[in-house]
Structure 1
């Protein structure tokens, strides 16, 4: 199905009725050639055999892994990332090695480092310093696989400090000034819309800088057409203004996953 070219299926929100390692094949059966995942394990450093099984599932399905989250704590749930958590820096650093290993074996190049919420008792400036240090370490490591560290504003957590495109782009700019050119903004149109950004303007001003796009409709985070966002126009405008990467389908389908792609036809 040619309509699936340019799209990558987020198998941490789609096909969740199946075990993780069966989802790549389900995406392929639905006509897709690429998938992305949040970190599929509850720990930063799962056993090697579990990593092997995951990589094999992607290989066997004949899909490409385009993107993977760094370890993000409990997701969905209380953490929303650990990039900025001083007491979890060792976990994050240990996770980098496994992300690079998976990248070497799959060809993945986009790696989302979720910032994490503000922590009670932690100095916000110290959290921001830790986040930048961890980002620079991650960027240096994934450079070996031609990878990019992605920085994503998200909604639904008031104590998550990156909410708007301006917030995310400012942190990316800090990383660039510190010498990490392979850090880029992840534009999740659902989260940005919910947080009040003018998506048309964000696309107009910054599409060429996007490291990745993810989509879901708003309100509701369902498939395109289930809400009110002009996603088709936003995507065509993003392409016209220089974005040439895949588009991550990161929505919660309102129907069984395999039936949620009618909007593409």
Structure 2
């Protein structure tokens, strides 16, 4: 099984740039990150430090978020945020540059919350254009934009796999962008009431990436009630060949205890 450690939610007792090496020491060869910088366009020195932390650790960066705003403060993306569209556009080339230098090909574009004073239709139109721009930029390195349903954010409009798939289809129809895929986070889908097994059976071909956490609690696999092993196995059976992103909350000391009971990763 090929896992990727999300170093933005795991190993958080360590400074961010020490986490790729910690993931490697725990036995993993791949990592992913939410946007790891304070702004959309970090300086060259910041970029170099981040990229060296990944390469020096000897891990592969397999996923990276576009800037999603202040995540701890409740932001969930800039894609449909009218007042920050220019900031998102500026971020696109930075993300593609990191991907090109580190060989990362999957980029999560969080859609953004609904905003007071802005019609949902206008936000959705903006999102189409921004997603198309992101898709065009990462296509130059063979990359894919990911679109993710999210739980726990009341103003975030994409809750189910079908919500995200409708946006993806609209972008493709209106702009021709074909490199946008569903980020199937089994935790978020389950918490939001999706029939995850049915989503897998019907739409595995639409998955650009899978992430997991158990529920309730968003903890490590085995701490809750979700049949994660079964869902992963079925996705593999139906053709999913990518990494499984570990995006759960667990202290570093016990973060990967469950993996000791799994087949070689």
TM-score range, shorter chain: over 0.9
Computed over aligned residues only, the root mean square deviation of the Cα atoms, in angstroms, reads 1.2
Deviation at 1:263, TM superposition (A): 4.9
Per-residue deviation, residues 155-206 of structure 1 (Å, max 9, x unmatched): 0112100001110111111122120000000000000000000111000101
Give the structure 2 partner of residue 250 of structure 1: 247
Distance in 1 separating the partners of 2:123 and 2:88:
14
Match for 2:129 among 130, 133, 136?
133
- What residue in structure 1 maps to residue 105 of structure 2? 109
Query: 1:264, CA displacement in angstroms?
Result: 2.9
Normalising by structure 1, we get a TM-score of 0.96
Are the aligned partners of 2:11 and 2:251 in contact in 1 as well (CA < 8 Å)? no
Unaligned 5+ residue runs, structure 2? none
2:221 is the counterpart of 1:234? no
Q: Distance in 1 between matches of 2:71 and 2:165?
A: 23
Q: Structure 1 residue runs of 4+, over 2 Å off? A: 254-265
Q: Which runs of 5+ in 1 are unaligned?
A: none
Write the distance in 2 (CA, Å) between the matches of 1:260 and 1:130. Answer: 42
* Structure 1 position 106, deviation (Å): 0.3
TM-score normalised over the length of structure 2: 0.96
1:83–1:150 distance in 2 versus 1, CA, 3 Å? same
Matched, 1:37 2:33: yes
1:167 to 158, 163, 169: 163
Which one of 43, 53, 67 corresponds to residue 47 of structure 1?
43
Please, which of 187, 191, 195 is the counterpart of residue 192 of structure 2? Answer: 195
Q: CA deviation at 1:209?
A: 1.4
Distance in 2 separating the partners of 1:47 and 1:260: 38
Residues 186 and 211, structure 1, Cα contact 8 Å, conserved in 2: yes
Q: Give the paired residue count.
A: 261
Would the aligned equivalents of 2:134 and 2:145 in 1 still touch at CA under 8 Å?
yes
| Alignment of structure 1 residues 5-84 onto 2, 5 Å | 5-84=1-80
**Could you say which residue in structure 2 is the equivalent of 1:150?**
146
